Amino acid sequence: DIQMTQSPSSLSASVGDRVTITCQASQDISNYLNWYQQKPGKAPKLLIYDASNLETGVPSRFSGSGSGTDFTFTISSLQPEDIATYYCQQYDNLPTFGPGTKVDIK
Protein backbone atom coordinates (compact mmCIF):
# COMPACT_ATOMS: atom_id res chain seq x y z
CA ASP A 1 0.00 0.00 0.00
CA ILE A 2 1.08 3.55 -0.68
CA GLN A 3 1.46 5.54 2.54
CA MET A 4 0.94 9.28 2.69
CA THR A 5 2.43 11.65 5.23
CA GLN A 6 1.60 15.30 5.75
CA SER A 7 3.40 18.07 7.59
CA PRO A 8 2.80 19.88 9.72
CA SER A 9 -0.04 18.08 11.51
CA SER A 10 -1.34 21.46 12.60
CA LEU A 11 -0.49 25.12 12.20
CA SER A 12 -1.65 28.54 13.33
CA ALA A 13 -1.29 31.54 11.06
CA SER A 14 -2.56 35.09 10.81
CA VAL A 15 -5.12 36.33 8.33
CA GLY A 16 -3.28 37.24 5.16
CA ASP A 17 -0.38 34.87 5.77
CA ARG A 18 0.90 32.44 3.19
CA VAL A 19 0.31 28.86 4.36
CA THR A 20 2.12 25.83 2.99
CA ILE A 21 1.38 22.17 3.65
CA THR A 22 3.49 19.32 2.35
CA CYS A 23 2.44 15.80 1.46
CA GLN A 24 4.83 12.94 0.79
CA ALA A 25 4.08 9.59 -0.80
CA SER A 26 5.93 6.38 0.06
CA GLN A 27 6.56 5.76 -3.64
CA ASP A 28 6.34 7.61 -6.94
CA ILE A 29 2.72 8.50 -7.70
CA SER A 30 3.38 10.82 -10.66
CA ASN A 31 0.77 13.60 -10.31
CA TYR A 32 -1.99 11.34 -8.99
CA LEU A 33 -2.78 13.52 -6.02
CA ASN A 34 -5.82 15.47 -4.87
CA TRP A 35 -6.35 17.92 -2.01
CA TYR A 36 -9.50 18.29 0.09
CA GLN A 37 -10.72 20.76 2.67
CA GLN A 38 -12.91 19.61 5.56
CA LYS A 39 -14.57 22.07 7.90
CA PRO A 40 -15.76 20.84 11.32
CA GLY A 41 -18.91 18.76 11.07
CA LYS A 42 -18.96 18.94 7.28
CA ALA A 43 -18.12 16.64 4.41
CA PRO A 44 -14.78 17.06 2.62
CA LYS A 45 -14.61 19.36 -0.39
CA LEU A 46 -12.35 18.83 -3.38
CA LEU A 47 -9.99 21.78 -3.93
CA ILE A 48 -7.13 20.57 -6.15
CA TYR A 49 -6.94 17.58 -8.49
CA ASP A 50 -4.07 16.00 -10.38
CA ALA A 51 -1.64 17.80 -8.04
CA SER A 52 -2.05 21.28 -9.46
CA ASN A 53 -5.47 21.79 -11.06
CA LEU A 54 -7.97 24.02 -9.30
CA GLU A 55 -11.46 22.55 -9.03
CA THR A 56 -14.18 24.70 -10.56
CA GLY A 57 -15.44 27.38 -8.19
CA VAL A 58 -12.50 27.14 -5.78
CA PRO A 59 -10.82 30.49 -4.98
CA SER A 60 -7.53 31.13 -6.71
CA ARG A 61 -5.69 31.65 -3.41
CA PHE A 62 -5.53 27.86 -3.22
CA SER A 63 -2.86 26.10 -5.29
CA GLY A 64 -0.97 22.85 -5.51
CA SER A 65 2.28 21.65 -6.99
CA GLY A 66 4.61 18.69 -7.10
CA SER A 67 5.04 15.30 -8.70
CA GLY A 68 6.62 11.98 -7.90
CA THR A 69 6.72 11.71 -4.11
CA ASP A 70 6.68 15.32 -2.89
CA PHE A 71 3.74 17.68 -3.10
CA THR A 72 2.86 21.12 -1.77
CA PHE A 73 -0.48 22.79 -1.05
CA THR A 74 -0.52 26.56 -0.60
CA ILE A 75 -3.00 29.16 0.57
CA SER A 76 -1.56 32.43 -0.70
CA SER A 77 -3.44 34.66 1.73
CA LEU A 78 -5.18 32.91 4.62
CA GLN A 79 -8.79 33.93 5.18
CA PRO A 80 -10.96 33.26 8.26
CA GLU A 81 -13.17 30.90 6.23
CA ASP A 82 -10.13 28.72 5.46
CA ILE A 83 -10.10 27.30 8.99
CA ALA A 84 -10.32 23.59 8.31
CA THR A 85 -8.40 20.35 8.07
CA TYR A 86 -6.72 19.69 4.74
CA TYR A 87 -6.11 16.20 3.37
CA CYS A 88 -4.05 14.95 0.47
CA GLN A 89 -5.21 11.81 -1.36
CA GLN A 90 -3.22 9.65 -3.75
CA TYR A 91 -4.76 7.51 -6.46
CA ASP A 92 -1.82 5.82 -8.13
CA ASN A 93 -3.29 2.63 -6.74
CA LEU A 94 -6.41 2.30 -4.64
CA PRO A 95 -6.88 5.65 -2.94
CA THR A 96 -5.37 6.55 0.40
CA PHE A 97 -5.53 9.80 2.31
CA GLY A 98 -2.89 11.62 4.27
CA PRO A 99 -3.46 12.11 8.02
CA GLY A 100 -4.53 15.72 7.59
CA THR A 101 -3.29 19.17 8.55
CA LYS A 102 -5.41 21.31 10.83
CA VAL A 103 -5.23 25.02 10.05
CA ASP A 104 -6.20 27.61 12.68
CA ILE A 105 -6.13 31.39 12.87
CA LYS A 106 -3.52 32.83 15.21
Partner 1 sequence: EVQLVESGGGLVQPGGSLRLSCAASGFTFSSYEMNWVRQAPGKGLEWVSYISSSGSTIYYADSVKGRFTISRDNAKNSLYLQMNSLRAEDTAVYYCARQSSGWRFDYWGQGTLVTVSS
Q: Which residues bind partner 1 (CB under 8 A)?
A: 1, 32, 34, 36, 38, 42-46, 49-50, 55, 87, 89, 91, 94-100
Write down the least CB distance from residue 60 to partner 1, Å. Answer: 18
Closer to partner 1 by CB, 50 or 77: give it: 50
Closer to partner 1 by CB, 17 or 58: give it: 58
Closer to partner 1 by CB, 16 or 42: give it: 42
Among 60, 85, 73, 80, CA closest to 13 = 80
Closer to partner 1 by CB, 82 or 86: give it: 86
Write down the least CB distance from residue 77 to partner 1, Å. Answer: 25
Among 18, 10, 91, CA closest to 48 = 91
Residues 6+ apart with CB under 8 A from 86: 6, 21, 35, 36, 37, 38, 47, 73, 100, 101, 103
Write down the least CB distance from residue 39 to partner 1, Å. Answer: 12
Write down the least CB distance from residue 14 to partner 1, Å. Answer: 26
Residues 6+ apart with CB under 8 A from 23: 4, 5, 6, 33, 35, 66, 70, 71, 72, 73, 88, 98
